[in-house]
Amino acid sequence: MTIQWYPGHMAKAKRQVQEKLNLIDVVIEVVDARIPLSSRNPLVDELIRQKPKLVLINKSDLADPEATKKWVDYFEQDEMTSLIIDAQRGKGMNLIPGKVRELATPLLEKWERKGINPRPLRTLILGIPNVGKSTVINKLANKKIARIGDRPGVTKAQQWIKVGKEMELLDTPGILWPKFEDEQVGFRLALTGAIKEEIFDFQAATVFLLRFLTANYPTLLKNRYQLTELSDDMGDMFDAIGKRRGCLMGGGLVDYDRVAEIVFRDFRQGKFGNISLELPPND
């Protein structure tokens, strides 16, 4: 389920995250490995201020592994600690408690100096819709707790989930909205399922995708539609794919809407192979 965001929702979501943050030692931000920047809300850093943060680069099973490695370096250069995970299969998740502890070292040292008995570190999963927050919580809890597709504004008593002896996790995630900085960000969010497809122009999103694939993953694109060559002319590309897929209208004309829908769906379903839609800036 994808949420439609209006100013009222945004203000409420922000307030709810702020309230949760009061209880938190370490923030865990989940991003989509295919679009690690476009799937962040820039408010996160402003909201959490100086609190330590771990970035989980999730859905790595769908992304291009080379690009994902570059993203880890990118975050590191920005002094952010990140971990590559696949929450659906539980890959990489066993490293989370150790990283959280590492990030909380200053706090643990402060407790020690003050003679305070250490308690488990309190963490919150935070991110925009559909990046896999609930899946992460359920995997860490080892059972089904967070409803998949949990909505902001649904109040229920919050509980701490124990993750090992030294970490606790709030059972409901903090949800922020995606930013629509520019059209490209919007296309990336639509293609990866972070925003409703109905609010999107299929053809425009597909043109964006085809141009991106032509530039970055030409072989995957050719293979998918058995194309011998690619063209910069999008009309030609739509025609070629349409003919391959039998999207013809009367008079032998290609039905562009159907082509767009097919290509868009193929991407959503991972039919092209492992693709990242965003590379680190200056790469």
């929450």: which residue's tokens? Answer: 87
Q: Cα–Cα distance between 207 and 75 in angstroms, integer?
A: 29
Applying CB under 6 A, does 68 fall inside the site for ligand GDP? Answer: no
Which one, 25 or 150, has the nearer CB to ligand GDP?
A: 150
Binder among 29, 86, 168, 278 for ligand GDP (CB under 6 A): 86
38 is in an annotated binding site: no
Residue-level length of the chain? 283
Q: Taking a C-beta distance cutoff of 8 angstroms, is the pair 61, 86 a contact?
A: yes
User: Cβ-count burial of 187 within 10 angstroms (0-12 exposed, 13-18 middle, 19+ buried)?
Assistant: buried
SS3 4: coil
Q: Which stretch binds ligand GDP (CB under 6 A): 103-111, 133-141, 176-184, 236-244?
A: 133-141
Which one, 90 or 120, has the nearer CB to ligand GDP?
A: 90
59 is in an annotated binding site: yes
Binder among 98, 106, 118, 149 for ligand GDP (CB under 6 A): 149
């909380």: which residue's tokens? Answer: 104
Applying CB under 6 A, does 148 fall inside the site for ligand GDP? Answer: yes
Q: Which stretch binds ligand GDP (CB under 6 A): 15-23, 55-63, 92-100, 256-264?
A: 55-63
Q: Cα–Cα distance between 125 and 96 in angstroms, integer?
A: 12
CA distances from 81 to 5, 36, 44, 169 (A): 29, 13, 15, 18
Binder among 40, 59, 188, 258 for ligand GDP (CB under 6 A): 59
Which one, 97 or 132, has the nearer CB to ligand GDP?
A: 132
| Residues near ligand GDP (CB under 6 A), total | 19
Nearest residue to ligand GDP on Cβ basis: 132
Which one, 228 or 269, has the nearer CB to ligand GDP?
A: 269
Residue 44: name the closest of 165, 242, 179, 153 by CA. 179
> Which CB contacts under 8 angstroms, 24+ apart, belong to 7-11?
9/152, 9/153, 9/177, 10/177
Give contact residues for ligand GDP (rule: CB under 6 A). 58-59, 61-62, 86-88, 127, 129-135, 148-150, 173
Query: Which positions make up the binding site for GTP?
Result: 58-61, 130-135, 174
